[in-house]
Chains A and B, each alone.
Chain A
Amino acid sequence: MRKYFYIFKSNLIANLQYVSNIMIGFITYFVIIFIFTNLWEYIYSNPDKLINGYGLEQMIWYVIVTEILWYATGGRKLCNKISNDVKSGNIAYNMNKPYSYIGYSLSSHMSEAILRGVLYTIAGMVMGLVLLGPIKDFNLISIPFVLISSLLAVLINILLVICIGLTAFWVEDSGPFYWIYSKVILVFGTMFPIEYFPGIIKIILNYSPVYVTTYGPAKLFIDFSFESCLSILVAQIIYLILSVLLASFIYRKGVRQLNVNGG
């Protein structure tokens, strides 16, 4: 584990030099939250009304949290990096080092995700408190669980993006797969809680990455209960194990296909 901590630390040192670049991304984040605040205010003509069990403030806080998780993950950059590593043969230069490529990618990207997560959390919380004020009946005890669940959500998301990036072993460009994945998460995971979707879609979403990567931590933040906390954390742990196994399987299969041009 020490080596992965060093990879994490080294990448964190690098990223600390680009904090201002990360903060430029706040602009789009603020615009998205502003648009959704107006949208939900329009839908909730009566602020005290509940739709599918959620009030207006909860809905806006839901979007604030899911967008933090989405921005923290920075999936597109990671997918491009993995895909380019495979296509250019750069991945080969990691293979003769005594660490796993997946562990390397995960720990180096995690440092970036955590840094972005901290900055976006500060921005999101300030924006939420200024626009809406605190959530009614917010339970302080939920904070550690929300943090653990958020960390697991980002970890799972990163692993799934690594799996998508590794498809570059077989296809010319893994970008289209990532595009589909990101749109599914965006539409079903960041805008509306799962309860908003009808019948069969709701059931599917409950077993999908949406449940563990965005819905779970946001649900715990806006409507905490120990019952939902347990089911979300269990689902996340199962997903984490499965995504590690899937990424290792894809890597092992793919690496045999590797053609590295000579120099």
Chain B
Amino acid sequence: MTAIKVENLSKTFKVKVKDKGLKGSIKSIFKPKYKEIKAVKDISFEVEKGEIIAFIGPNGAGKSTTIKMLTGILFADEGNVEVLGISPNKERKKLAYEIGTVFGQKEQLWMHLTPYDNFKFFGAIYDIPNSVAEKRIENLKMLFELEEFMDTPVRNLSLGQRIRCEIVASLIHEPKVLFLDEPTIGLDPVVKENIRALIKRMNKELKTTIFLTSHDVGDIEKLCKRVIIINHGRIVLDDSMEHLKYNYLNKKIIEVKMKEKVNLEDEPGITILKDKGYNLKIEVDTKDKNVADVIKLLDPDKIIDINISNIPLENIISDIYKNEEK
């Protein structure tokens, strides 16, 4: 079952431009000039129900513009969008009852109210009967471990506690699709882990489809099974995490500490990233060379210490961005 269907979606913004200085400002009053910025260019994809998908890209790639079109905030210039079979532009209010949104950089909670009052408020705006809202608040309180601070005004909560409450507020009406726009931004590693675990649990227990944008590779790696990479308004990759890792993780990094200096040079499958005499950092392309062969070249008897690791996903993603730009 498809939860989100996007076909040939495009969006262009008209932005006012003016020449430098006072002269330019006066000129722009009488003869305003505009330039067009194509934020999203002809993108198409589908998301299945219950899927957790990462929608990532560098700043200005078109991620948030796409999310805003999917949630009915922005009107698309061209193309077709359906979320749960509903057109966001034509039936925005109807869709609002079916989806939830969390924008990590934008709070939707009332700061002076307690989480409990906030959840009651969200229950009311989604027309949920009091008794049902109470039950859901109780369940979500347990799931997201909010007992401690249910009666503390939101303005007095830590960022991690607030984000948990933001997510709960967007779940009161049991949305079928949840849009999370950088939900872990600004959080410390422990809280990030905690939020990720809760999102995963929520997806498992409530079967919520999750559409996630994040600059944090940890979010993507730990939560998502599929990733869409967007750059300059176009989709540059739409693949499963497994494939992404398989295709790009054929490279290994070997860091060695030697007893003696070794003379190793670049050759097919081997790239010397760092050579400090006794310490070497080597990239091995396992398609051309086995790791074992490289170790043999180094002479295992002279190795004091060795560390073999995968290339971080972060580097893979930034390589994909860079290749696309070239």
- Interface residues in chain A, defined as those with a beta carbon under 8 Å from any beta carbon in chain B: 2-3, 5-7, 10, 13-14, 17, 90, 92-93, 95-99, 256, 258-263
Contact B113 A258 (CB under 8 A): no
CB of B176 closer than 8 Å to a CB of A: no
Docked-complex contact B127 and A262, CB < 8 angstroms: no
Q: How far is the CB of A53 from chain B (nearest CB, A)?
A: 48
Q: How far is the CB of B321 from chain A (nearest CB, A)?
A: 16
Per the 8 Å Cβ criterion, residues 66-108 of B in contact with A are 68, 71-75, 92-93, 95-97, 99, 101, 103, 105-106, 108
Q: How far, in whole Å, are A258 and B11 apart by their CA atoms in the complex?
A: 12
Interface hub of B117, B125, B126 (most chain A Cβ within 10 A): B125
Instruction: Find the residue from A3, A5, A90 having the highest chain B CB count within 10 A.
Output: A3
Contact B106 A93 (CB under 8 A): yes
CA distance A259 to B11 in the complex (A): 10
Task: Identify B72's interface contact among A17, A90, A96, CB under 8 A.
Answer: A96
Q: Assess the A98–B72 pair: CB atoms within 8 A.
A: no
Residues of B at the A interface (CB closer than 8 Å) are 13-15, 39, 59-60, 62-65, 68, 71-75, 92-93, 95-97, 99, 101, 103, 105-106, 108, 110, 112-113, 117, 120-121, 124-127, 181-182
Given known A-B contacts A95-B92, A262-B39, A262-B65, A2 and B73 have beta carbons under 8 A apart: no
The smallest beta-carbon distance between A15 and chain B, in angstroms, is 9
> In the complex, A261→B101 CA distance in Å?
17
- A98 to B68, Cβ gap below 8 A? no
Partner of B73, one of A5, A17, A99, A260: A260
> What is the CA–CA distance of A5 and B121 in the complex, to the nearest angstrom?
10
Beta-carbon contact of A99 and B105 below 8 Å: no
A98 touches B112 (CB 8 A): no
Judging by beta carbons under 8 Å apart, are A258 and B74 in contact? yes
Asked if A263 contacts B103 (CB within 8 A), the reply is yes
Question: Apart from A14-B113, A258-B74, A263-B182, what 5 extra A-B contacts exist at CB < 8 Å?
Answer: A95-B92, A96-B71, A96-B73, A260-B64, A263-B64
**Chain B residues near A263 (CB-CB < 8 A):** 64, 103, 105, 181-182
Q: Would you list the 6 A-B pairs with minimal beta carbon distance, nearest first?
A: A262-B64, A6-B124, A98-B96, A3-B125, A92-B73, A96-B71
Complexed CA–CA distance, A6 and B73 (Å):
23
Q: Does the CB pair B64–A3 fall under 8 Å?
A: no
The reply to whether A2 and B75 contact each other, CB–CB distance below 8 Å, is no
Given contacts A13-B112, A260-B73, A263-B64, contact A97 B96 (CB under 8 A): yes
A10-B13 in contact (CB<8A): no
A210 to B2, CA, bound (A): 55
Q: Taking the nearest CB of chain B, how far is it from the CB of A198, in angstroms?
A: 38
Query: Do A93 and B62 touch (CB < 8 A)?
Result: no
Q: With A256-B75, A260-B68 as known contacts, state yes or no: A96 contacts B101, CB within 8 Å.
A: yes
In the complex formed, the residue of A with least CB distance to B101 is A96
Docked pose: A256 CA to B89 CA in angstroms:
10
A residues less than 8 Å from B121 (CB atoms): 6-7, 10
Q: When the two chains form their complex, are residues B126 and A98 in contact, meaning their CB atoms are under 8 A apart?
A: yes
- Select one of A6, A7, A96, A258 contacting B96, CB under 8 A: A96
Q: Which of A13, A98, A258 makes the CB contact (< 8 A) with B125? A: A98
State the Cβ distance, B122 to closest chain A Cβ, in Å.
9
Which residue in A13, A90, A96, A259 is a CB contact (below 8 Å) of B92?
A96
User: Which residues of chain A are near B60, meaning CB under 8 Å?
Assistant: 262
Q: Which residues does chain A contribute within 8 Å of B105, judged by CB atoms?
A: 263
CB distance from B177 to the nearest CB of A (A): 12
Given the complex of chains A and B, what is the CA–CA distance between A25 and B15 in angstroms? 41
Whether A2 and B127, one on each chain, are in contact in the complex, defined by CB atoms closer than 8 angstroms, is: yes
- Residues on B with C-beta less than 8 A from A99 are 125
Please, which residues of chain A bring their CB within 8 A of the CB of B108? Answer: 93
Min CB distance A74 to B, Å, is 18
B73 close to A97 (CB less than 8 A): no
Quick check: A95 and B72 within 8 Å, CB to CB? yes
Cα–Cα, bound, A127→B112 (Å): 33
CA distance A18 to B165 in the complex (A): 25
Contact of B124 among A2, A17, A96, A262 (CB under 8 A): A2
Bound Cα distance A6, B172 (Å): 15
> Once the chains are docked, how many angstroms separate the CA of A166 from the CA of B14?
20
Are A98's CB and B93's CB within 8 A? yes
In the complex, chain B residues whose CB is within 8 Å of the CB of A10:
110, 113, 117, 121
B39, B95, B97, B124: residue with the most chain A Cβ atoms closer than 10 Å? B124
Q: A260 to B68, alpha carbons, bound, how many Å?
A: 9
- Provide 19 A-B residue pairs closer than 8 Å at the C-beta atoms, listed in order of the A residue: A2-B127, A6-B120, A7-B125, A10-B110, A13-B113, A13-B117, A14-B112, A17-B112, A90-B106, A92-B68, A93-B103, A95-B73, A96-B73, A97-B96, A98-B96, A98-B97, A98-B125, A99-B125, A262-B39
CB contacts (< 8 Å) of B74 on chain A: these are: 92, 258, 260
User: Contact: A97 with B112, CB < 8 Å?
Assistant: no
Most buried by B among A2, A7, A14, A96: A96
